[in-house]
């Protein structure tokens, strides 16, 4: 499976994908890592792994749609079959991503449908939740709103703070995302009739 990864930050989820491939758990070729931030750690990781990189600066585009059309045009040219959003911190334009329906996954640090958007750990704590988690979902035009494929949960501990909760969740993300991508690579998780199917049955 030819995969392109979009990341804005440190890139630990990208690292987890690369490690899964190294271990033989993910039959994938990483064709591109793209970012909206030249300083993203993910770009450095990609460079070290010999993966082509691309940086697009949102400030040089007139609006979000122009940026997204250029980005997703370049992703199409990369020959990627699947796009993985691994900490890509931008809202995406519905028209620009329409050609990628069913071919783009995102990892989001909450138990969706709870806490779409930012500050998910803080919001879970403020709500007094007893558990928190991460979700991998197919991307649609609705922010963090596409069909959820898999989740990982962890209990919230007494006196937990936002930073610690985020830190404890991260290793779960690092297992969850490669596991879901591996399902796509194995042909077990597919998009059919406008929704996700696993092993021949709708999710």
> Which positions lie near ligand GRF, rule CB under 6 A?
7, 9-13, 86-87, 107-109, 134, 173
Q: In what order do the strands lie in the sheet with 82-85?
A: 53-55, 29-35, 2-6, 82-85, 104-108, 131-138, 148-155
> Smallest gap, in angstroms, from Cβ of residue 135 to ligand GRF?
9
* Catalytically annotated residue among 108, 121, 137, 174: 108
**Is 78 annotated in some ligand binding site?**
no
Cα 181 to Cα 3: distance, rounded to the nearest angstrom: 9
Which residues fall within 8 angstroms of residue 40, CB to CB, at 6 or more apart? 7, 8, 9, 10, 11, 55
132 classed as catalytic: no
> Smallest gap, in angstroms, from Cβ of residue 174 to ligand GRF?
8
> Smallest gap, in angstroms, from Cβ of residue 88 to ligand GRF?
7
**Is 156 annotated in some ligand binding site?**
no
**Is 106 annotated in some ligand binding site?**
yes
Which is nearer to ligand GRF, 66 or 89 (by Cβ)?
89
**Taking a C-beta distance cutoff of 8 angstroms, is the pair 154, 172 a contact?**
yes
**Is 104 annotated in some ligand binding site?**
no
**Taking a C-beta distance cutoff of 8 angstroms, is the pair 171, 122 a contact?**
no
Residue closest to ligand GRF (Cβ): 87
Binding site listing:
11-13, 64, 89-92, 106
Active site residues: 108
């Amino acid at each position: 499976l030819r995969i392109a990864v979009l990341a804005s930050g440190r890139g630990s989820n990208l690292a987890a994908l690369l490690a899964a491939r190294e271990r033989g758990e993910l039959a994938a070729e990483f064709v591109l890592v793209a970012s909206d931030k030249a300083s993203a750690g993910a770009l450095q990781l990609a460079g070290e792994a010999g993966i082509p990189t691309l940086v697009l600066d949102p400030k040089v585009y007139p609006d979000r749609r122009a940026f997204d059309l250029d980005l997703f045009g370049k992703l199409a040219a990369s020959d990627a079959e699947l796009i993985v959003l691994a900490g890509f911190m931008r809202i995406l334009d519905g028209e620009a991503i329409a050609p990628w329906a069913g071919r783009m996954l995102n990892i989001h640090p909450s138990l969706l449908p709870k806490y779409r958007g930012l500050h998910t750990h803080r919001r879970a704590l403020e709500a007094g939740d007893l558990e928190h988690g991460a979700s991998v979902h197919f991307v649609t035009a609705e922010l963090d709103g596409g069909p959820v494929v898999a989740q990982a949960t962890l209990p919230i501990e007494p006196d937990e703070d936002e930073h610690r909760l985020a830190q404890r969740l991260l290793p779960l993300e690092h297992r969850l995302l490669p596991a879901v991508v591996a399902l796509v690579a194995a042909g077990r998780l597919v998009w059919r009739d406008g929704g996700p199917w696993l092993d021949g049955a709708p999710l």
